[in-house]
């Protein structure tokens, strides 16, 4: 059955909802086989300052962040806390990392953890795994004064916790959707957007009042509920007009106006289950494809490069991937090979955006979030 017709799901699929809740987007038990990443580069001396241009990954499988030379591979790691997911780096060089235990603060220039800020919200036992409680998406305000972290609360709706970066403490808690995969901020800092994976929505939070407003984003509908594959994952804010871009299944791009709550849908061409997304400085949308959700119902892993006019190039990737960032010159994408439903591998795929040529780098364990330093 083609995903384009899933608005009328069969009873058999509905019967599988409970199983899909446990299986959708989950990790495999071992690293993927073919093309496994090469061995790590020589470590960076502990007293040496961190060179500019390194990559930083959140290592969901190692409780660390890893510093990665884009030419040589992993060169250093810093312990941050259990199962780190997303990360955001400020202009001051400090990284804010969403872990199961709290928000870790890392000085990326000296490679030292400065603090770990506990959440106000109880999330149950500190554990690993896709459904673990704790921080997921995280973003910084444009002035760096606040970090906003989406906190998963197993079994119920999530929250957005607001961190005062100077005081290093949580100052407010706002209700949002279930399992906030991603958090983004408007270019002017006036709004925060928390993407609720399991509630088919984006919660718009006014930075001044912290009042939440829910926008449903479900271009395939919400049938299947928690067991559905067809949920939002990551969101990109388009600087030109402030609209939100949410890719679905390599088939549909939901374009959401956060002011009106209206959604339009544009076609995509990769035909693959999609997760991480980012924008280049010239407006190209990069989207990670993790592969077909079911055998025979879609294509393999890929990176979509979508121009502002909607034209797309789809570059195949080898094995599962999760998130993506782009080099400062806009020529190279770095795609993490971490935690996805089909397994993982411990590295980054480097993609030449002009040609689609790829090669792999070692980078921690189950790397998810990624940033360029």
Instruction: State the DSSP string of 265-304.
Output: EEE----SEEEEEEE-TTS-EEEEEEE-SSTTSS---EEE
End-to-end CA gap in the chain: 44
Burial class (CB in 10 A: 0-12, 13-18, 19+), 117: buried
Helices (H), the chain: 11-15, 17-23
Distance CA 352, CA 333 (A): 7
Ranges of beta strands (E only) in 153-282 are 159-164, 169-175, 180-185, 191-196, 201-206, 212-216, 236-237, 244-248, 252-256, 263-267, 273-279
Distance CA 305, CA 105 (A): 32
pLDDT at position 24 is: 39
Distance CA 7, CA 219 (A): 9
Is 326 within 8 Å of 332 (Cβ atoms)?
yes
Distance CA 262, CA 215 (A): 8
Is 220 within 8 Å of 230 (Cβ atoms)?
yes
Strands 87-89 and 94-98: antiparallel
pLDDT at position 294 is: 82
pLDDT at position 342 is: 61
What are the structure tokens assigned to 316, written together? 């195949």
pLDDT at position 29 is: 37
Residue 21, helix vs strand vs coil: helix
pLDDT at position 12 is: 36
How many C-beta atoms lie closer than 10 Å to residue 286's C-beta?
23
Distance of CA 228 to the CA centre of its chain: 19
| Paired strand residues for 314 | 304
Residue 313 has φ and ψ, to the nearest 5°, of: -120, 135
Sign of the CA dihedral running 26, 27, 33, 37: positive
Taken in order of first residue, the domains within the chain and their CATH numbers are 90-333 (2.130.10.10)
Residues of the chain short of pLDDT 70, as ranges, are 1-40, 340-342
Q: What's the helix, strand, coil split of the chain in %, to 5?
A: 5, 40, 50
pLDDT at position 358 is: 98
Query: Model confidence over 200-250: pLDDT tens digits?
Result: 999 999 999 999 999 999 999 999 999 899 999 999 999 999 999 999 999
pLDDT at position 13 is: 34
Is 20 within 8 Å of 227 (Cβ atoms)?
yes
Contacts of 5 (CB under 8 A, 6+ apart): none
| Selection from 159, 193, 207, 161 nearest residue 179 by Cα | 159
């Amino acid at each position: 059955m083609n995903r384009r017709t899933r608005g009328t799901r069969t009873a058999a699929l509905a019967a599988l909802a409970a199983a899909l809740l446990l299986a959708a987007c989950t990790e495999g038990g071992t690293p993927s086989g073919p093309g496994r990443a090469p061995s790590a580069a020589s470590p960076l001396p502990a007293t040496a300052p961190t060179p500019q241009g390194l990559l930083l990954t959140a290592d969901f499988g190692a409780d660390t962040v890893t510093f990665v030379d884009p030419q040589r591979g992993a060169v250093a790691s810093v312990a941050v806390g259990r199962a780190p997911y997303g990360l955001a780096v400020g202009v001051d060089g400090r990284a804010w990392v969403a872990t199961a235990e709290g928000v870790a603060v890392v000085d990326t220039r000296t490679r030292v953890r400065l603090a770990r800020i506990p959440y106000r919200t109880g999330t149950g036992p500190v554990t690993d795994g896709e459904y673990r409680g704790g921080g997921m998406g995280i973003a910084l305000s444009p002035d760096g004064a606040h970090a906003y972290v989406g906190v998963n609360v197993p079994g119920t709706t999530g929250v957005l916790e607001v961190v005062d970066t100077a005081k290093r403490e949580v100052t407010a808690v706002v209700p949002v959707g279930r399992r906030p995969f991603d958090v983004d901020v408007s270019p002017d800092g006036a709004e925060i957007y928390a993407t609720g994976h399991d509630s088919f929505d984006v919660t718009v939070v006014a930075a001044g009042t912290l009042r939440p407003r829910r926008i449903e984003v479900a271009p395939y509908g919400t049938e299947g509920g928690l067991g559905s594959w067809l949920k939002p994952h990551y969101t990109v804010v388009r600087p030109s007009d402030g609209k939100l871009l949410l890719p679905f299944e390599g088939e549909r791009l939901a374009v959401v106006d956060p002011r009106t709550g209206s959604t339009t849908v544009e076609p995509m061409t990769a035909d693959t289950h999609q997760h991480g997304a980012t924008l280049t400085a010239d407006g190209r949308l990069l989207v990670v494809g993790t592969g077909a959700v079911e055998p025979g119902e879609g294509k393999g892993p890929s990176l979509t490069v979508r121009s502002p006019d909607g034209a797309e190039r789809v570059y195949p990737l080898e094995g599962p991937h999760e998130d993506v960032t782009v080099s400062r010159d806009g020529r190279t994408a770095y795609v993490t090979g971490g935690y996805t439903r089909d397994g993982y591998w411990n590295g980054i795929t480097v993609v030449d955006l002009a040609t689609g040529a790829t090669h792999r780098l070692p980078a921690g364990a189950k790397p998810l979030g990624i940033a360029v330093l």
